[in-house]
Amino acid sequence: MNEVCFDVFALGNHEFDGGDDGLATFLDYLNADPGCDTPVLAANVIPELGTPLFPDTSTEYIQPYHIEQFGDEAVAFVGIDIKQKTQVSSQPFDSTLFLDEVTTAQKQINMLTAMGYDKIGLVTHQGYQNDIDLASMVSGVDFIFGGDSHTLGGDHSALGIGGTGDYPTIASDKSGNTTCIVQGWEYSKVVGSLNVGFDADGDMVAATQAEVDAVLAANNQMQWALDADAQATLDGFSADVAVLSTQVIGSTTDDLCLAQVPYQNEGGPGGFLNSGRSSLCVPTDLPNGGEIQQQVTDAFLDRAFRADIALQNSGGVRIDIPAGDITIADAYELLPFANTLFELEMTGAEIVLALEQGVGNWLDAAGSSGACPYGSGIRWDVDVSKPFGSRFSAVEVRPKGSAVWSPIYTGATYVVVANSFMAGGGLAASRLTVTPLRHYGNRWKRRVFDLLPRPVPSGKRRDYAPSWCPDSGRPPVWPGCIARSGAEGASRPSRSC
């Protein structure tokens, strides 16, 4: 980031994974380069005075907005971070306030307008659909640079890449003025470019689709020249990565595709599909959810020697695994967070409540779909059209050493293995915050690949993931069920949803 030296940097949820103190340390490194001064923006994040991000009245790491000069024109950038997801899925200090995104954006726009600025944009980390919704609820926003949902805008089928929505997405703000919304996918795979124009009143002037098409037709792939200093910095890291990339630790005969939630049609709650993050499968390929998420969960149960059950949040697993050899570098991309495994004693009632909280965070609290639970040694039915507390039913477990599935007993105690993020209450699974029995170190990342699939007859992808299947006998709003397959990867038990 110091080499690039960005004009602005908007905070997101993962910046708070190490707490306010961890973020402050990172920003110290960012600010250590005297040749680069990158403003850090989040208007709706208010640290308490005396804490790491606001140590004294003369030192504030986070700013609400930044004014950037483009020739004679001044453009205001306002930062907005996603409130609920950051508070629930990361670890900001309890004393740090997260304000409502819409209210904060409008307050900042009003203030900047009163100061004489008429070219105002938002840099957000809250997801593509939230950006579209936000634009319609505020007045005076000209453009939004977004993140969080890993959305690639535009039609890139000619390059073999899928996309969601137009780039830019042309929306209207609350006053009916044009707002351009863009998001540049993920992990620096692409770089987005948005050229904007304004009329004499400071309102956005949108290019016609014909003009956009003409630019893309003339140059649909970016041209660049290498920067010697940046290349030297990158080479230092690339050498270490290259070593890890040659250490083969497993292989798979099948693509193992990524999906945070099972595919459902647009009639589902919120209209979501399955986060659309797989580069190997389309959403309709994954009616049962993420294959690689289930593989990881099964591996956790196998690695934990005493556990009866494994639980894993879908968002903790980050990439597809394509057929072929798998390296230790792949393992760290798959599971990039500094999580370790914990064994916990939990009652059956606490386990069911944790499942309800994971889905409730996603459905009820407008939180992350990364809370969607995957299980091993446990199976259940779920009807997401029901209210919180009554969605999960027919929950069954197969305790360690048993070959028999039996109903979970609310008063019985089970040993559950989960990653340290969930064990600490991540994604609202607060009932996992119990005293751990055993802590496993980081070597378990390799263990995931000891359980990769054997060849599948006829080349058909094995059904690893939980099955969310429609049931016409249930309420009509996105009913479904999950039925766990055996931890050995056997075909899913015959069980009616």
Question: Does residue 464 lie in a domain region?
Answer: no
Last residue of a domain, one of 192, 218, 244: 218
Label residue 311 by pLDDT band (50, 70, 90): very high
Highest mean pLDDT among 134-143, 177-186, 341-350: 134-143
Would 287 be classed as within a structural domain?
A: yes
The pLDDT confidence band at residue 122, using thresholds 50, 70 and 90, is very high
Residues 355 and 306 in one domain: yes
CATH code assigned at 302: 3.90.780.10
Residues 269 and 391 reside in one and the same domain? yes
Structure token digits, residue 458: 């006829």
Residue at 416 is within a domain: yes
Lowest model confidence (mean pLDDT) among 248-262, 370-384, 428-442: 428-442
- With a CB cutoff of 8 Å and minimum separation 6, the contacts of 496 are none
Kindly tell me if the per-residue pLDDT of 493 is higher than 60: no
* pTM: predicted TM-score of the whole model, two decimal places: 0.70
Whether residue 301 is found in the same domain as residue 187: no
In a domain, residue 494? The reply is no
Span 268-296, pLDDT tens digits = 344 344 455 788 887 777 777 888 998 89
Q: How many helices (H) and strands (E) does the chain have?
A: 11, 22
Q: Is the pLDDT confidence value at 33 over 50?
A: yes
Question: Residue 23: inside a domain, yes or no?
Answer: yes
Can you spell out the DSSP letters for 364-380? TS---GGG-EEEESEEE
Same domain, 193 and 272: no
Does residue 240 lie in a domain region?
no
- pLDDT tens-digit profile of 460-492? 333 333 433 333 233 222 223 333 333 333 333
Q: Which pLDDT value is given to residue 219?
A: 65
Model confidence pLDDT, tens digit, residues 352-380 = 999 998 888 878 876 677 888 899 999 88
Domain count, the chain: 2
Asked if 203 and 331 sit in the same domain, the reply is: no
Tell me if 350 is assigned to some domain.
Answer: yes
The overall average pLDDT reported for the chain is 80
Which residue range forms the structural domain that includes residue 313? 255-459
Identify the CATH number of the domain in which residue 140 sits: 3.60.21.10
Do both 45 and 183 map to the same domain?
yes
Kindly state whether residues 210 and 302 are assigned to the same domain.
Answer: no
CB 44, CB 71: distance < 8 Å: no
